[in-house]
Amino acid sequence: MTGISWGRPLALHPDEWVVIKNAIDIVRMGNLEPVRLDYPTLLTYAVTPVVWAVHAATGLPLDTTVQGLGQNELLPSQFPYLLAGRLVVAAFGTFTIPVVAAAAWLLGGRAAAVAAALVTAMVPLAVEHSHYLTTDVPIAFFVAAATALTLGALRTGRFRILSRMIGTVSKLDLDYYRRHHVAYSVTADATSQRFLETPGDPTRVTCGPLLTLSGAYSVGLGLGIQGPAILVPRAVAASAVGS
């Protein structure tokens, strides 16, 4: 948590203002549709309840359109909203550690799990970005979770069910990486099922799981970037136009 309040009382990161202003505007207007849709929206929705709680407890202003306030600026008194949002990202980073360890344990046992947890907890890039209200750390969490669930399904024999889920969920992914994700996930869906249905095929042991892991990556990345914004009509329209 050291350094989490860097920049106080200013929002100096080039991306943080988009997330926090979207969340503040949702609380102020009572409308779940973000004002800006040119940045991943999951983090906005994750931070909005925290912004609401901070406002309820402190009564800090919610106005983001004060005359003289730049587009990428907050009022100094609004910094607690930004700080609370950074704590949400720090929580995602913390939860990523045991998830990565679980995936490593499924692959290599206890020693691999301990090593993976230590690396995830100490790698400078992950630690640094856990101090920013940006989408990178949440994405890492969802990718790690999707990978761990996939590896668990492979061990328990629920491979076909998971591959179909991956294909289905990724087809709903409407963010600006949509084509990349769907290509991976649909291939994983179709190919893994074919290998499972032909037990004599020697490639089923490697190709099916690898393709399904690619699908898991696409699902995790899609959830981490877009989140529930696929339920917002304007977000769907904007994504469709952007793709």
- What's the burial of 39, exposed, middle or buried (CB within 10 Å: 0-12/13-18/19+)? middle
- Could you tell me which residue, 126 or 238, shows the higher pLDDT? 126
87 vs 46, 50, 129, 154, 231, CA distance in Å? 11, 10, 12, 34, 26
The tokens describing 134, both together, are 């940006």
Single-letter amino acid, residue 199: P
pLDDT over 70, % of the chain? 63
Assess whether the previous peptide bond of 9 is cis (omega < 30° from 0). Answer: yes
pTM metric for this prediction: 0.72
Q: HSE of 172 in the Cβ direction (CA atoms, 13 Å)?
A: 14
* More confident site: 20 or 217: 20
The string of pLDDT tens digits covering residues 190-200 is 544 544 444 44
**Segments making up each domain of the chain, as ranges:** 157-243
